[in-house]
Each structure stands twice: as structure tokens, then as C-alpha cells.
């Protein structure tokens, strides 16, 4: 049975830092369910973001080849070293995940498992899918329930977040976690989402930057018609109208109603 995080931290004279999103999971069943979603095999490598005091790390380590656990809080490093001393396949790195480059630590494929520090959920997603040279095959992420809902949204309720992340990965809802399973108890419930990276992306790598510029501009004023938002791209009005026509998309629609496929059609007509 997992020792309560409050007791472990107390032994080391450490108190949780809200500013670092420190809400520690202490429910064994939930930890096991998260690990179950990760489909781990003995030859897998795992990146754990924010291991905290190592509760999840301890469940991951026996099932995989290696776990790289990246923790920013220096006060937690000695705790992690003690708690994980029996697991030779765990590497603890005292680092900011937003500065961590996976390709330097993993040869080819790896998975991410994380109870994400909520204050940087968006930045972490951008970092692992957009900025990193090597994205994970699978990511099992515990995020705020509201964010989980936004991530799995369908056309009609899309956002810049869902469009961007769904471009990289197919996303499924795992299960929800009540706020009371964490200590300290956060204000909202959480949910685990599974992100499986797409093997075939819709746009060639060298054109992705441009594609994301289109999406960002499309969402720049959410309530506005897409054709009005896209004026700031600088295309002549006739050309913009003709592109909408050829792609079969009504320019008076809002960005949130477009599917990824429709963004691709529009992009191919415009650029
Ligand atoms: N994995 C533990 C668990 O499930 O109990 C802790 C999860 S807690 C929600 C988030 C963890 O991420 C904390 O340990 C926090 O210190 C760490 N963290 C916050 N910002 C970070 C960053 N930029 N890079 C790496 N770790 C970070």
C-alpha cells in the first residue's frame, strides 16, 4: 500500500508547492489503472513528467526497460532517490520538462506517462508534440477534466488546443479521477486521456509551420467568421473567396466547426 504523500513529505520537512502544481496521487487502484492504459512491455522506455515523490514511478519501473523521471523541484530529488533506490532502471533528472529534449534520452520510440502539473498542461503538450525532435508513440496524461473534454472535442466544439493536439495524435478519454484522490485536494476533478501519435500526418513536415499559422489565425477571434479572421493572412479577397469555394467550406463558418480534414483542404487551396 502506498504511504500517504503527506507522511512522506513530512519526514523530509517538505510542504507541497501550489505554484508547481503539486497534487500527489495516493490511490493505489488509480495508479494501477493509469499504468494499465500505458500498455507497457519489457522493452519499452517511459518518460515520466513530474514524478513528485515517485508513487507512479514505482508502478511503472517493474514493467518497463527504463523510466526517465523529470522533476523540477530540487526538494523532491532526495525523496525520489530514496523511494526509488531499488529500481536500477529509473533515471531521475532534476530538470524543467520544457527544456528536456527526448531525442537525447531515447533512441526511437518511447511513451509518456504523467500526472501533469496543471499550470503548464498546454506548454507540455506543445513541447512534446511540436518543439521536441522525437514525439512519444503513446502518452497517458492525467489532466484537469475540463481540459480532457476540450482535448477530445469534435467539430462544433473544437478549439486551437484540440485542433493542434488532434493533428498529432488520436485522443481517447480514459477515466475520471475525483479530486479527493489527490493530496492536497485540487479544486477540480481530473481525467486520464490517451494520446496515440498518428503515423501519417495530414501535412508534410516542411509545411506544418504554415499550416499552424493558418489555424492560429483562424482561431484568432473565436466568434468571428473564418473568412474575416483569415483576411489578416494578407491574401487578396477574391483569392480567399475562391479558395473557400474550391475547398467546399462556407467562409461564414467559425473555426470551431472545422474538422482537421477541412483545415487541410483549405490549407491546400490557400498555400
Ligand atoms: N507524479 C506525482 C503523482 O502523481 O503523485 C506528482 C504529480 S504533481 C500533479 C506534478 C509534478 O510535476 C510535481 O512533482 C511538480 O513538482 C512537477 N513539476 C512541475 N513543473 C514541472 C516542470 N516544469 N518540469 C518538471 N516537473 C515539474
pLDDT at 14: 98
Average pLDDT over residues 80-84: 98
Rounded to the nearest integer, the mean pLDDT of the chain is 96
pLDDT category of residue 3 using cuts at 50, 70 and 90:
confident
pLDDT category of residue 170 using cuts at 50, 70 and 90:
very high
Q: What is the pLDDT of residues 113-159, one digit of tens each?
A: 999 999 999 999 999 999 999 999 999 999 999 999 999 999 999 99
pLDDT at 247: 97
Report how far ligand 1's centroid is from the alpha carbon of 49 (Å).
Answer: 6
pLDDT at 198: 95
Average pLDDT over residues 66-84: 98
Which among 16, 20, 28, 35 is the best mutation to test ligand 1's pocket, defined by most ligand atoms within 8 Å of the CB? 20
What number does the ligand 1 atom closest to the CA of 22 have? 8
In this prediction the pTM is: 0.96
Q: Sort strands 66-71 and 138-144 into parallel, antiparallel or unpaired.
A: unpaired
Q: What is the pLDDT of residues 218-241, one digit of tens each?
A: 999 988 999 999 999 999 999 999
pLDDT at 201: 87
Which among 2, 16, 35, 50 is the best mutation to test ligand 1's pocket, defined by most ligand atoms within 8 Å of the CB? 50
Identify the residue whose C-alpha is closest to ligand 1 atom 21. Answer: 72
Q: Count CB-CB contacts under 10 A for residue 210.
A: 12
Q: What percent of the chain has pLDDT over 90?
A: 95
**What is the spatial distance between Cα 34 and Cα 17, in angstroms, rounded to a whole number?**
24
Average pLDDT over residues 178-202: 96
Please, which residues have CB within 8 angstroms of residue 81's CB and are 6 or more apart in sequence? 92
Report residues whose beta carbon is within 6 angstroms of any ligand 1 atom. Answer: 20-25, 49-52, 55-56, 70-73, 76, 96-98, 115, 117, 120
List the beta bridge partners of residue 144.
Answer: 190
What number does the ligand 1 atom closest to the CA of 53 have? 2
Q: What is the pLDDT of residues 12-69, one digit of tens each?
A: 999 999 999 999 999 999 999 999 999 999 999 999 999 999 999 999 999 999 999 9
Average pLDDT over residues 157-178: 97
Amino acid at each position: 500500500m502506498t504511504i500517504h504523500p503527506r507522511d512522506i513529505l513530512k519526514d523530509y520537512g517538505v510542504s507541497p508547492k501550489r505554484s508547481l502544481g503539486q497534487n500527489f496521487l495516493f490511490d493505489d487502484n488509480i495508479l494501477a489503472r493509469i499504468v494499465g492504459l500505458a500498455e507497457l512491455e519489457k522493452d519499452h522506455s517511459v518518460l515520466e513528467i513530474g514524478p513528485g515523490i515517485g508513487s507512479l514511478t514505482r508502478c511503472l519501473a517493474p514493467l518497463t526497460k527504463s523510466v526517465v523521471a523529470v522533476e523540477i523541484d530540487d526538494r523532491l530529488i532526495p525523496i525520489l532517490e530514496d523511494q526509488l533506490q531499488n529500481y536500477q532502471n529509473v533515471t531521475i533528472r532534476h530538470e524543467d520538462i520544457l527544456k528536456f529534449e527526448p531525442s537525447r534520452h531515447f533512441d526511437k520510440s518511447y511513451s509518456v506517462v504523467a500526472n501533469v502539473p496543471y499550470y503548464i498542461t498546454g506548454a507540455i503538450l506543445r513541447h512534446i508534440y511540436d518543439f521536441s525532435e522525437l514525439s512519444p508513440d503513446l502518452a497517458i496524461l492525467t489532466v484537469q477534466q475540463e481540459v480532457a473534454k476540450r482535448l477530445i472535442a469534435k467539430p462544433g466544439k473544437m478549439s486551437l488546443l484540440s485542433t493542434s493536439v488532434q493533428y498529432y495524435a488520436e485522443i481517447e478519454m480514459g477515466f475520471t479521477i475525483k479530486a479527493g484522490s489527490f493530496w492536497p485536494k485540487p479544486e477540480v476533478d481530473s481525467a486520464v486521456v490517451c494520446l496515440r501519435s498518428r503515423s501519417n500526418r495530414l501535412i508534410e513536415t516542411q509545411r506544418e509551420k504554415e499550416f499552424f499559422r493558418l489555424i492560429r489565425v483562424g482561431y484568432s477571434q473565436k466568434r468571428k467568421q473564418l473568412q474575416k479572421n483569415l483576411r489578416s493572412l494578407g491574401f487578396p479577397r477574391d483569392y480567399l473567396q475562391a479558395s473557400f469555394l474550391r475547398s467546399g467550406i462556407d467562409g461564414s463558418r467559425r473555426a470551431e466547426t472545422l474538422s482537421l480534414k477541412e483545415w487541410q483542404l483549405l490549407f491546400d487551396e490557400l498555400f
